[in-house]
Structure 1
Amino acid sequence: MGSALTAVLVALVGNGTAHAEDAVPALEVSDPFIELHTAPGRGYPIFHVIEKGEQVELLKRKTNWYKVRAASGETGWTKASQLGRTLQPTGLPADLPEVSHGQYLESSWRVGFTAGQLEQSPSFSLTAGYRPLTWLGAEIEAGKIYNQSVTSDYYGANLILEPLHQWSLTPYALIGYSQFSFDARQKVLLSDLGDADGVTLGGGLGYYIGRNFLIRAEYRVYSVSSNSDSTGLSEWKIGLNTFF
């Protein structure tokens, strides 16, 4: 059902652009209304409401948001869950494609949470990243290291290379800079304690699990310098990312 519309959406919306000379899919609103946001995200303000029975044209998709144009000319973003209850001209419900690995490749932003082990110490971190290209991204992180009821902080900025990004199971390489702030009892990591800087090298696998979620498993090696001392640290970690 709706296979013809789906084919048009995959070709038109899936690429993220709509050419003026192409026919854009038109749907009829069957809910009491759908809301148009200024950008793809709930945090952006609602500036227009399209009421039941009105026509909307699909222009572009970004993860689970669609850019649409109302019959009156207003252009804005609405959630796919609302648009999925619109109707085709035949009166049948629209068959909209789900978020896919291809949508992940087109996404620009992602945030995540990771847990792992830095040497013999549990570690946890929050990450936020931006990807200007499908194969290259930048990421910042902030985390904690736990050992013997003591916590230490670390921060980092990394470049992520994904040359084989077309696979659902995607290998990647990582290079970056880290800064550690070790507690005085964190002797398991460094003998010369205090603040320390490090160069980060690593690699891992990302696996797209559906909708807006990605699992990452990663191994890193840190070359850490504190005053005149230098040492190597290793870390395994796994995390969940969401993209938009």
Structure 2
Amino acid sequence: MRRLSRRILVGLMLAAPLSPTAAQTAFENDAAVLQVVDPFIELHTAPGRGYPVFHVIEKGEQVELIKRKTNWYKVRSSDGQEGWTKATQLGRTLQPTGLPADLPEVSHGEYLESSWRVGFTAGLFEESTSFSLTVGYRPLTWIGAEVEAGKIYNRSVTSDYYSANLIFEPMHQWDVTPYLLTGISRFSFDARQKVLLSDLGDADGVNVGGGLSYYVGRNFLIRAEYRVYSVSSNSESTGLSEWKIGLNTFF
């Protein structure tokens, strides 16, 4: 009976293409069985190009969709092998009875379920141009941790800074997601960077800020952020601010 219900499900998918949300719900509730029509698809040990290929499913074989993580699908071959294949390859090569399979797209929900993200930002640190790279991990949908390495440029002078931050996203269900941020920072100001601080080399600081994340589709979101730093060294404390905007990808 279960096998029959699966075949009926696939027939319904072919007869009327489902919306991304409906298609996702369909194969999560009762996994779809599809047929490979390209020469082969490759199975990776985990969802990512860097993971090795351990098995190949050849033309004419059937595969069962198990689950999805961003733009990767976990599938099971007819001989019981389970692995991950990229969504673009799956959509191109799996066509039951000759018609394209209607696979759901990555959505804001996948962003909320993703643990890791990396990004690049650019902005203004006081009167100077700033750039940074970030790597973040989110154990829960509403809180995450992030490390950052950046550079501040002014009049051919470069200064470095590093931060470790906590990010709070209490209203994460919205496509435009507000968040709060707090963290600690380490600065290495060039001696000529008078526009920021005078007579100050290495310095520690704390920061607080907030911003907005906007999910733009696939594995990307845009972040716009404002921070205030309190930087201290040798009993001297100075307040600094930074505006920035950047692009993040999640997986």
Where on the TM-score scale, by shorter chain, does this alignment land: which range?
over 0.9
Pick from 83, 88, 104 the counterpart of residue 81 of structure 1. Answer: 88
Is the contact between residue 27 and residue 55 of structure 1 (CA under 8 Å) also seen in structure 2? yes
What is the CA distance between 1:93 and its match in structure 2? 1.2
* Residue number in structure 2 paired with 1:229: 236
* Residue number in structure 1 paired with 2:218: 211
Secondary structure at the residue paired with 1:185? Answer: coil
What is the CA distance between 1:182 and its match in structure 2? 0.5
Q: Deviation per CA, 1:174-224: give whole Å up to 9, x if none.
A: 011110000101111112311111111000001111111111000000011
* Residue number in structure 2 paired with 1:140: 147
Letter of the aligned partner of 1:190 in structure 2? Answer: L
- TM-score normalised per structure 2: 0.90
Q: Distance in 2 between matches of 1:88 and 1:11?
A: 19
Q: Which runs of 5+ in 2 are unaligned?
A: 1-13
Segments ≥4 residues shifted beyond 6 Å: none
* Number of residues of Structure 1 aligned to a counterpart in Structure 2: 237
Aligned-pair identity (%): 78
Q: Which runs of 5+ in 1 are unaligned?
A: none
Is the contact between residue 109 and residue 243 of structure 1 (CA under 8 Å) also seen in structure 2? yes
Letter of the aligned partner of 2:175 in structure 1? Answer: S
What is the CA distance between 1:23 and its match in structure 2? 2.7
* Residue number in structure 2 paired with 1:10: 24
What is the CA distance between 1:11 and its match in structure 2? 1.7
What is the CA distance between 1:110 and its match in structure 2? 0.7
Letter of the aligned partner of 2:250 in structure 1? Answer: F
Secondary structure at the residue paired with 1:59? Answer: strand
Across the aligned residues of Structure 1 and Structure 2, the Cα RMSD in angstroms comes to 1.7
Distance 1:238 1:199, change over 3 A: same
Pick from 55, 73, 82 the counterpart of residue 66 of structure 1. Answer: 73
User: Does residue 102 of the first structure (1) align with residue 109 of the second (2)?
Assistant: yes
Distance 1:209 1:56, change over 3 A: same
Q: Distance in 2 between matches of 1:164 and 1:29?
A: 41
Is the contact between residue 192 and residue 229 of structure 1 (CA under 8 Å) also seen in structure 2? no
* Residue number in structure 2 paired with 1:54: 61
User: Does residue 161 of the first structure (1) align with residue 168 of the second (2)?
Assistant: yes
Pick from 215, 230, 239 the counterpart of residue 246 of structure 2. Answer: 239
* Residue number in structure 2 paired with 1:193: 200
What is the CA distance between 1:6 and its match in structure 2? 5.5
Distance 1:241 1:188, change over 3 A: same
Q: Deviation per CA, 1:73-120: give whole Å up to 9, x if none.
A: 111100001110244545421000111111111111111110000100
